[in-house]
């Protein structure tokens, strides 16, 4: 098969869940004899088209800052969509797979697929629905309308989680025609990585944006410090909230307890996770929550929050972690129980490791290939 993935952000220049999914699945598709192209912004130097680990990368426009004031900017997405169409029309693909968010590229891919006679697949990482009003206030009506329009023009769809599939059905999509193909991890790679010598009780991994609610985690650490003065919390990531979070750390008097480490290479992050006791994902908006599965592969319990748009909570049960209200007191209680009780934590760790086995990329790519083949036939 000749496959085109479409997403404006490209791994490893941008290291998010959707980018990593395309990278991992693309590499494995190549290993099984397929030709894989990726159309994104040009995050690299040199030629607009280059080969990277077997994939052919197409830089359809110059890279632009994707976030303004912590939110995805509309203009870069619109520019990417406009530049995308003529590039896709240069070749014919057996299948075009578009990551839905931030929406505009879906219209370009749909037009190109129609003109070239190629099937197109829309991969949904999340569905925002009424969350658009929280994100854009009154202007959210436009975001919600565009999301509905994309749902209306998508002939073939993939959901990355059962949670997302349920939300797709809620906006009128046919659930019987939506396969769930989750994000995954490379279990063999993670198994080879040794724990870091830098130990911590709690670890957070993710972009420092408002929706991740790292401030609530810091307040929980402040509460835990009352009984455990030596508690250690590791924050891995960067983003627009960093300066504000640094100020909060100082204000709460936990500068000796919190380590802001910024972005790091994947192996180093996994090493830090393996050297921790519990991972916290206090995010109120996750389309999947890949870091949760990575934590499972590290045999690390996970605490996340009960929020309408947090799909990560669907991965977690009492056997491998906890789902709590977005409240520092409730979060501190859950974390304190896991950190303090070795027996509970060890049992959760074993259960987390067992859960990870269902998310190996090598298994997931087979499911994706079957979906593609079914569409082509």
If asked whether residues 259 and 145 sit together in one domain, one would say: no
Q: Which of 226, 199, 260 is nearest to 336 (CA)?
A: 226
pLDDT value at position 136? 84
Per the DSSP assignment, residues forming a β-bridge with 323 are 304
pLDDT above 80 for 71? no
If asked whether residues 103 and 224 sit together in one domain, one would say: no
- The DSSP secondary structure of 115-141, one letter per residue, reads HHT--EEEEES---TTHHHHHHGGGHH
pLDDT value at position 73? 84
Tokens for 306, please give them.
């009960």
Structurally, the chain folds into a number of domains equal to 2
**Strand, coil or helix: 83:** helix
Q: What residue numbers bound the domain in which 73 lies?
A: 2-184+360-376
For the chain, the average pLDDT equals: 95
> 165: domain CATH number?
3.40.50.2000
If asked whether residues 180 and 319 sit together in one domain, one would say: no
Interval 241-274: pLDDT, tens = 999 999 999 999 999 999 999 999 999 999 999 9
Phi, psi of 306 (to 5 degrees): -85, 100
If asked whether residues 346 and 372 sit together in one domain, one would say: no
Cis peptide before 63 (omega within 30 of 0): no
Q: What is the arithmetic mean of pLDDT over 179-201?
A: 96
* Token pair 């929980």 in the structure block, residue: 220
Per the DSSP assignment, residues forming a β-bridge with 42 are 62
If asked whether residues 201 and 68 sit together in one domain, one would say: no
**How far is 59 from 63, CA to CA, in rounded Å?**
8
If asked whether residues 167 and 42 sit together in one domain, one would say: yes
If asked whether residues 6 and 153 sit together in one domain, one would say: yes
Q: What percent of the chain has pLDDT over 90?
A: 88
Selected residue with higher pLDDT from 106 and 128: 106
If asked whether residues 370 and 342 sit together in one domain, one would say: no
If asked whether residues 22 and 126 sit together in one domain, one would say: yes
**How far is 69 from 210, CA to CA, in rounded Å?**
10
If asked whether residues 353 and 212 sit together in one domain, one would say: yes
**How far is 202 from 248, CA to CA, in rounded Å?**
17
**How far is 295 from 316, CA to CA, in rounded Å?**
11
Q: Which of 25, 306, 127, 301 is nearest to 292 (CA)?
A: 301
pLDDT value at position 352? 98
If asked whether residues 6 and 138 sit together in one domain, one would say: yes
Q: Which DSSP helix (H) or strand (E) runs through 158?
A: strand 157-159
Its pTM stands at 0.85
């Amino acid at each position: 098969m000749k496959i085109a993935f479409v997403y404006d952000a490209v791994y490893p220049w941008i290291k998010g869940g959707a980018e990593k999914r395309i990278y991992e699945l693309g590499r494995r598709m190549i290993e099984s004899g397929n030709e894989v192209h990726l159309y994104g912004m040009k995050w690299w130097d040199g030629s607009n088209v280059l080969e990277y680990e077997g994939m052919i990368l197409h830089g359809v426009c110059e890279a632009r800052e994707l976030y303004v004031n912590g939110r995805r900017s509309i203009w870069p997405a619109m520019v990417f969509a406009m530049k995308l169409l003529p590039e896709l029309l240069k070749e014919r693909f057996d299948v075009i797979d578009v990551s839905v968010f931030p929406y505009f590229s879906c219209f370009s891919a749909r037009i190109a697929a129609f003109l070239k006679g190629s099937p197109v697949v829309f991969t949904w990482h999340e569905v925002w629905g009424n969350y658009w009003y929280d994100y854009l206030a009154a202007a959210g009506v436009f975001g919600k309308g565009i999301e509905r329009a994309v749902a209306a023009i998508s002939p073939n769809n993939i959901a990355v989680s059962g949670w997302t599939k349920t939300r797709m059905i809620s906006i009128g999509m046919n659930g019987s025609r939506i396969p769930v193909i989750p994000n995954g991890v490379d279990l063999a790679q993670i198994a080879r990585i040794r724990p870091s010598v830098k130990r911590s009780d709690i670890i957070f991994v993710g972009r420092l944006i408002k929706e991740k609610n790292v401030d609530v985690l810091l307040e929980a650490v402040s509460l835990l410090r009352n009984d455990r003065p030596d508690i250690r919390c590791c924050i891995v990531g960067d983003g627009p909230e960093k300066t504000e979070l640094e100020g909060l750390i100082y204000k709460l008097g936990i500068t000796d307890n919190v380590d802001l480490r910024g972005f790091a290479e994947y192996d180093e992050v996994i090493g830090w996770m393996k050297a921790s006791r519990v991972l916290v994902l206090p995010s109120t908006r996750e389309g999947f929550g890949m870091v949760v599965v990575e934590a499972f592969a590290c045999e690390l319990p996970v605490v996340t929050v009960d929020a309408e748009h947090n799909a990560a909570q669907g991965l977690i049960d009492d056997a491998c972690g906890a789902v709590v209200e977005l409240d520092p007191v409730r979060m501190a209680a859950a974390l304190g129980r896991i950190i303090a009780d070795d027996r509970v934590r060890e049992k959760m760790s074993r259960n987390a490791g067992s859960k990870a086995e269902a998310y190996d990329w090598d298994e997931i790519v087979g499911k994706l290939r079957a979906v593609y083949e079914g569409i082509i036939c």
